[in-house]
């Protein structure tokens, strides 16, 4: 009996030692061979995928546990983690800097990986397929990321089977994903992270909040751009005690801000930007419980409140705030001294609160701002602020972006204002009153060495060119507009030309000749604006320039024939990327070069919007806007335009002669063409109707003859047309918006006829050309009103037609619709500012304003 016990003891000991040895060997080898069936499942998945970056090149051999994106259980060999995110598995290869997404379909064999706890299919292009229902069978999953993978259709309710999930991300900015029933969410009671950004859940918002309330462990909730129109009046998160991040941005709530949002004491980040929130800020702000809040973004809404009260209330109860964005609202009042209580503040954005004369942050910048030692970005653009800029701003050693554009500053900025700004990357400054002077010593060497953007407008930075910019070798944007600068362009700018993407020296007194030494680079898409100066001589064509403004100088000679492609000697520059050419108000003569119709830049849709690489909101990014001038009935009208909106050719007010080249009608994406006030002859090209994207066409004050081409009626985006003072003949077309254009756009063409002229026959009698010119140039108030009403009518009809062309596409294509409206939400309030400026200027020029 004793021997039997001893024998059993030895057997058990040997088995234990054998098992331990096997475990140690397995550990030393670093992995266990994966399960054959699971390896075969992976190979089936690989077969159905397109891998343009060859990221799955390691998927060979027997041991799939060593393949990229795969992790196994060291003891059982079962696959636990499967990552197909190209930015995670491809960039580990140093030779692949920016991998392409996987394409194709997901093989159903994915459901064979029963032991998966982590699945990441994000940032791919599955070409609009539905989210596979069988993912709901992977019941051991605790991490699921399907974001931005180009799925579409309805979110499967089968995801409700994944009761172990802690992390769920089904957001998708690229395609149309929606929900019909959100009851499945209630089963995911263990969720800590939920992101449904850009998923359309407008049909069940009540169920959404009911389901979320059951997630007692939820830490982060992201519901940006979900088409939500309902915001509960009372808190829907009664059972959630740990919520840290709440993002409800980009939803059309159209309501006031409910006070319960400021009573979630656990919040560290709150984003309500672009959510159509309006009215007064909650009166309970002074008693808010957001003691832990670090990021508060309320930008792009319609919130009204005195900024003094807001800052003082917040500073009393919160010392941890790092980001405060109240931009693009309707705030008013002055910045209080208590602003310096936010010791951890890194980003402060109060820009563009001045949407009318009754709103906008006003008063001076408090000197206490110098105490915000952690401040990295300060944006006060577009307000009613005035007074001198305090020298204490020079104490902000961590400041990398300083934007003080569009205010009413006065006084002088000196070296002291920049004393300790060693990290400055972007500097923007302007004064609407032109009463601010930037005065630094001649031998001043700035403390910053990495400046990439400088913008000084409406300030006195001259009379000589600011020499302190000479050593800023990283500059790629130099905007010194209306800065009181005279003299010639310094040679050291030539050395920077290869890195410049925006050079604007307009509205100064710069003289001399256009330099030949500029060496711009096509990858920078350079924009050059030297308009409204005193430059002379012939035009220089710099290679790779995308946008060129030379309006209102004393340039002369013939237009170069090398503005395009064709049989051109290599030593002559061409401009294949050019999409905006403004040579108006100079002394150019000769004919319009035929090869202008060969410039590729005017044939390509102009858009910089890129979902894969959106510009960051906070690192000092400054969208470039400028004034575009159009001549309407002899009057110059300015309006703000985003540079990416149009391709433009403006050769007006020169001495050009000859016919309009037929080749110019090949520029199918041209947005505006102005050839007015020249000596052009011949007929309007019959093919002009090919310019389908054209919105503005001005051929007035020339010697054009013949009929108005019928093809012009197919230009449905055309909102402004001026054919006055030519020798055109025949009947005026009536199709589409031509039936609504004001008769004044045909004035000075006595041989034209048609119903359009009957309402204005007295001004169209033959032989009254000179009288008509004098009549147009008069400042009679009634005539101005008629011209302006005609302008508004033509714009309205053109845009109504274009509206339905675009909206028809959006109705039929859901993915376009969701991407488009996200863009609209982001840009809405910015465009309101531009329209306000536009309407004010039109009214002033046309004499519609009353004293």
pLDDT digits (tens, 9 = 90+) for 328-350: 999 999 999 999 999 999 999 99
- pLDDT bracket for residue 644 (50, 70, 90): very low
| Residues whose CB is less than 8 angstroms from the CB of residue 298 and which lie 6 or more positions away in sequence, other chains included | 257, 272, 273, 277, 325, 326, 329
Q: What is the mean pLDDT of the chain?
A: 80
**Strand 672-674 to 153-154 pairing:** unpaired
H-type helices in 740-780, by residue range? Answer: 769-777
- pLDDT in the model for residue 646: 63
What is the chain's alpha carbon radius of gyration, rounded to the nearest angstrom?
Answer: 33
Interval 434-452 mean pLDDT? 94
Residue 702 has which token pair?
Answer: 């020339």
Of 11-20, 37-46, 75-84, 774-783, give the lowest mean pLDDT range: 774-783
> Whole-prediction pTM value?
0.75
Mean pLDDT of 606-631: 37
Residue 565 has pLDDT above 60, yes or no: no
Contact in structure between 573 and 565 (CB atoms under 8 Å): no
**Which band of pLDDT confidence, cut at 50, 70 and 90, is reported for residue 307?**
very high
Please tell me the least confidently modeled range out of 257-261, 433-437, 545-549, 809-813: 809-813
Question: What is the average pLDDT across 278-291?
Answer: 69
Q: What is the pLDDT of residue 92?
A: 55
CA 420-373-363 angle, to 5 degrees, is 90
- Region 425-436 average pLDDT: 95
pLDDT band at 849 (very low <50, low <70, confident <90, very high): very low
Q: Cα separations (Å) of 153 from 125, 127, 132, 226?
A: 14, 12, 11, 14
- Residue 470 predicted with pLDDT over 80: yes
Q: What is the average per-residue pLDDT within 22-30?
A: 41
316 — alpha (psi -120 to 50), left (phi > 0) or beta? alpha
Phi/psi for 370 (5° steps) reads: -65, -10
User: What share of residues in the chain are helix, strand, coil (percent, to 5)?
Assistant: 30, 20, 50
pLDDT of 431 above 90: yes
* Environment class of 12 (CB within 10 Å of its CB; exposed 0-12, middle 13-18, buried 19+): exposed
186 or 626, higher pLDDT: 186
What pLDDT, on a 0 to 100 scale, did the predictor assign at position 234? 84
pLDDT per residue as tens digits for the range 102-117: 999 999 999 999 999 9
**What digits encode the pLDDT tens for the residues 501-550?**
999 999 999 999 888 778 777 667 788 899 999 988 877 767 777 788 88
Report residue 486 as tokens: 């005279």
What distance in Å separates the CA atoms of residue 563 and residue 646, rounded to the nearest whole number? 19
Q: At what angle do helices 814-846 and 781-812 cross, to 10 degrees?
A: 180
DSSP E strands in 337-425: the ranges are 347-349, 360-363, 377-379, 384-387, 401-413
**Confidence band for 72, pLDDT divided at 50, 70 and 90:** very high
Whether residue 702 contacts residue 679, with contact meaning beta carbons closer than 8 Å, is answered with yes
More confident call, 87 vs 421 = 421
Pairing verdict, β 118-120 and 143-145: parallel
State the pLDDT confidence band at 596, using cuts at 50, 70 and 90: confident
Location of structure tokens 């020298």: 391
205 CB-near residues (< 8 Å, 6+ apart):
228, 229, 230
Higher confidence at residue 282 or residue 65?
65
Give the residue-averaged pLDDT of 200-216: 87
Q: Which residues contact 42 (CB under 8 A, 6 or more apart)?
A: 59, 64, 67, 70, 79, 109, 113
Phi, psi of 154 (to 5 degrees): -90, 135
Let me know: does 120 contact 88? Beta carbons within 8 Å: yes
Tell me the C-alpha distance between 729 and 746, whole Å: 10
Q: Which residues of 770-780 are buried (b: 16+ CB within 10 A; e: fewer)?
A: eebbeebeeee
- The helix (H) or strand (E) run that includes residue 29 is helix 2-29
3-class secondary structure, 386: strand
Neighbouring-strand partners of residue 656:
590
The pLDDT, as a whole number, for residue 99 is 81
- For 588-846, CATH gives 3.80.10.10
Please tell me the predicted confidence (pLDDT) of residue 429: 97
Top pLDDT among 770 and 435 is at: 435
């Amino acid at each position: 009996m004793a021997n039997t016990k001893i024998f059993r003891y030895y057997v058990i000991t040997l088995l234990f030692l054998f098992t331990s040895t096997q475990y140690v060997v397995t550990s030393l080898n670093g992995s266990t061979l994966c399960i054959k069936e699971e390896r075969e499942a992976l190979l089936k998945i690989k077969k159905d995928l397109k891998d343009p970056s060859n990221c799955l090149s390691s998927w060979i051999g027997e041991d799939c546990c060593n393949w990229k994106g795969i992790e196994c259980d060291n003891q059982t060999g079962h696959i636990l983690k499967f990552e197909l995110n190209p930015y995670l598995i491809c960039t580990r290869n140093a030779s692949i800097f920016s991998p392409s997404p996987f394409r194709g379909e997901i093989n159903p064999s994915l459901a064979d990986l029963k032991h998966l706890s982590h699945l990441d299919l994000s940032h791919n292009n599955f070409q609009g397929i539905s989210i596979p229902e069988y993912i709901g069978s992977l019941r051991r999953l605790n991490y699921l990321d399907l974001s931005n993978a180009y799925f579409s259709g309805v979110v499967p309710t089968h995801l409700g089977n994944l009761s172990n999930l802690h992390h769920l991300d089904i957001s998708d900015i690229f395609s149309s994903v929606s929900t019909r029933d959100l009851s499945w969410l209630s089963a995911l009671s263990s969720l800590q992270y939920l992101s449904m950004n850009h998923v359309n859940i407008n049909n069940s918002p009540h169920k959404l909040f009911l389901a979320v309330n059951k997630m007692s462990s939820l830490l982060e909730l992201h519901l940006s751009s979900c088409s939500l129109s309902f915001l509960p009046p009372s808190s829907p998160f009664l059972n959630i005690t740990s919520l840290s991040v709440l993002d409800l941005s980009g939803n059309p709530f159209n309501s006031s801000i409910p006070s319960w949002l400021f009573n979630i004491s656990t919040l560290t980040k709150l984003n309500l930007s672009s959510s159509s929130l309006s009215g007064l800020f909650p009166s309970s702000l002074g008693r808010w419980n957001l003691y832990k809040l670090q990021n508060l973004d309320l930008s792009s809404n319609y919130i009204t409140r005195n900024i003094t009260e807001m800052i003082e209330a917040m500073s009393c109860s919160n010392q941890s705030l790092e980001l405060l964005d109240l931009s693009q609202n309707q705030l008013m009042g002055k910045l209080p001294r208590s602003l310096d209580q936010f010791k951890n503040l890194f980003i402060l954005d109060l820009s563009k609160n001045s949407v009318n004369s009754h709103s906008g942050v006003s008063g001076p910048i408090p000197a206490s701002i110098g105490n915000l030692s952690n401040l990295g970005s300060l944006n006060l653009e577009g307000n009613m602020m005035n007074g001198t800029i305090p020298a204490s701003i020079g104490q902000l050693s961590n400041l990398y972006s300083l934007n003080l554009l569009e205010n009413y500053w006065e006084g002088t900025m000196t070296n002291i204002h920049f004393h300790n700004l060693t990290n400055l990357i972007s500097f923007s400054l302007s004064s609407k009153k032109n009463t601010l002077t930037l005065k630094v010593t001649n031998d001043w060497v700035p403390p910053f060495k990495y400046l990439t953007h400088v913008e000084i407008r409406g300030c006195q930075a001259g009379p000589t060119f600011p020499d302190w910019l000479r050593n800023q070798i990283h500059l790629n944007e130099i905007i010194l507009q209306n800065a009181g600068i005279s003299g010639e362009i310094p040679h050291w700018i030539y050395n920077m030309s290869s890195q410049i993407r925006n050079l604007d020296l307009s509205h100064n007194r710069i003289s001399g000749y256009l330099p030949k030494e500029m060496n711009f680079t096509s990858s920078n898409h350079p924009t050059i604006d030297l308009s409204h100066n005193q430059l002379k001589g012939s035009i220089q064509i710099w290679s790779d320039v995308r946008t060129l403004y030379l309006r209102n100088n004393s340039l002369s000679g013939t237009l170069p024939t090398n503005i395009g492609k064709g049989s051109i000697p290599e030593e002559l520059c061409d401009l294949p990327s050019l999409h905006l050419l403004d040579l108006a108000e100079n002394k150019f003569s000769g004919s319009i070069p035929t090869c202008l119709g060969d410039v590729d830049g005017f044939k390509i849709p102009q858009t910089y919007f890129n979902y894969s690489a959106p510009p960051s909101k906070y690192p000092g990014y400054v969208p470039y806007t400028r004034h575009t001038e159009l001549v309407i009935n002899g009057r110059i009208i300015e309006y703000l335009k985003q540079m990416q909106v149009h391709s433009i050719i403006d050769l007006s007010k020169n001495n050009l002669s000859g016919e309009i080249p037929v080749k110019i009608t090949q520029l199918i994406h041209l947005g505006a063409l102005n050839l007015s006030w020249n000596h052009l002859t011949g007929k309007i090209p019959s093919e002009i109707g090919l310019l389908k994207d054209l919105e503005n066409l001005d051929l007035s004050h020339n010697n054009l003859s013949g009929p108005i081409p019928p093809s012009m009626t197919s230009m449905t985006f055309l909102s402004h047309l001026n054919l006055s003072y030519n020798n055109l003949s025949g009947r005026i077309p009536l199709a589409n918006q031509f039936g609504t254009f004001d008769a004044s756009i045909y004035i000075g063409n006595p041989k034209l006829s048609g119903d359009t002229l009957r309402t204005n026959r007295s001004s169209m009698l033959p032989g009254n050309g000179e009288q008509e010119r004098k009549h147009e140039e008069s400042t009679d108030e009634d005539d101005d009103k008629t011209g302006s009403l005609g302008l508004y009518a033509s714009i309205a009809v053109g845009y109504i037609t274009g509206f339905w062309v675009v909206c028809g596409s959006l109705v039929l294509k859901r993915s376009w619709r969701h991407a488009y409206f996200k863009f609209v939400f982001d840009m809405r309030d910015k465009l309101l500012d531009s329209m306000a400026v536009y309407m004010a200027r039109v009214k002033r020029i046309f004499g519609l304003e009353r004293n």
